[in-house]
A and B are shown apart, each in its own frame.
Chain A
Amino acid sequence: DIRLTQSPSFLSASVGDRVTITCRASQGINTFLAWYQQKPGKAPKLLIYAASTLHSGVPSRFSGSGSGTDFTLTISGLQPEDFATYFCQQLNSYSYTFGQGTKLEIK
């Protein structure tokens, strides 16, 4: 199974900051990677797919990059509603593992 490791697991930041979350795959996955945001008590929401394509309706302050084994999610200019937990997911031929999550908290 392909494993995804996110870093950091916890991140403290302020409104207006630029933050980056990293997701590393245990083997190459091309750009078959998505990012999700989850708030407490709510279902995850799709942010980015194919490593860098912004899902419809997602603010442009979110961006993704990477291919192969190393990927990043960047939020430029944090807003109060961005404080949540973020997960990466690899989607490759009926294999859909998630990273362990990164909790983004207000400093």
Chain B
Amino acid sequence: EVQLVQSGAEVKKPGESLKISCRGSGYTFVTKWIAWVRQMPGKGLEWMGIIYPRDSDTRYSPSFQGRVTISAAKSTSTAFLQLNNLRASDTAMYYCARQDIFFFNDNTYYSWDSWGQGTMVTVSS
């Protein structure tokens, strides 16, 4: 069974940094991209970035470029999301998700088929 297990809730002060993790199991971790998604309280889903653990190829959403760093450790099948200079507006639930791939009619289709349980981050002075 594919599983993504995220690290626990965090409480931080403005200006601090944060690094949360997402450990994959039940599949070959390095072969699937892992995405990170932010969901502010009562709001929708925002894509932050995505990493291919095999070679650490990483792409960032323009909305988050420069504020976040995504990395991966192949040896522990874990992806990481780092946020620097935290502010109150970073208070949110953060999810990781596995990207699966499907080929049909000369097209390449993607889906985010497995998700972590979420990590709640609270930034407050």
Interface residues of A (CB under 8 A from B): 1, 30-32, 34, 36, 43-46, 49-50, 53, 55, 87, 89, 91, 94, 96-101
The answer to whether B45 touches A87, judged by C-beta atoms less than 8 angstroms apart, is yes
Beyond A32-B110, A49-B111, whether A43 also contacts B95 by CB under 8 A is yes
Instruction: Give the total of B residues in contact with A, Cβ under 8 Å.
Output: 24
The answer to whether B44 touches A50, judged by C-beta atoms less than 8 angstroms apart, is no
Further 8 A-B residue pairs, CB within 8 A, beyond A50-B102, A99-B44: A36-B45, A43-B115, A44-B45, A91-B99, A94-B59, A98-B44, A98-B45, A101-B44
Chain B window 9-25, contacts with chain A (Cβ cutoff 8 Å), 1 for yes, 0 for no: 00000000000000000
**CB-CB nearest in chain B for A46:** B113
Interface residues of B (CB under 8 A from A): 35, 44-47, 50, 59, 61-62, 95, 97, 99, 102, 104, 107, 109-113, 115-118
**CB-CB nearest in chain B for A49:** B111
Distance (Å) between the CB of B1 and the closest chain A CB? 12
Q: Is the interface of B mostly helix, strand, loop or mixed?
A: strand
A85 to B83, alpha carbons, bound, how many Å?
A: 27
Question: How many A-B Cβ pairs are below 8 Å?
Answer: 64
Residues of A within 8 A of B50 (CB): 94, 96
**CB-CB nearest in chain A for B61:** A96
A30 to B107, alpha carbons, bound, how many Å?
A: 10
Q: Which of A45, A49, A94, A96 has the most CB of B within 10 A?
A: A96
Residues of B within 8 A of A100 (CB): 44
Beyond A50-B104, A96-B47, A100-B44, whether A43 also contacts B113 by CB under 8 A is no
The answer to whether B112 touches A50, judged by C-beta atoms less than 8 angstroms apart, is no
Shortest beta-carbon contacts, A-B, top 4:
A49-B111, A43-B115, A96-B47, A91-B110
Distance (Å) between the CB of A66 and the closest chain B CB? 14
Beyond A34-B112, A43-B117, whether A49 also contacts B102 by CB under 8 A is yes
Distance (Å) between the CB of A84 and the closest chain B CB? 13
Distance (Å) between the CB of B22 and the closest chain A CB? 11
**CB-CB nearest in chain B for A30:** B107
Beyond A44-B95, A97-B47, whether A55 also contacts B111 by CB under 8 A is yes
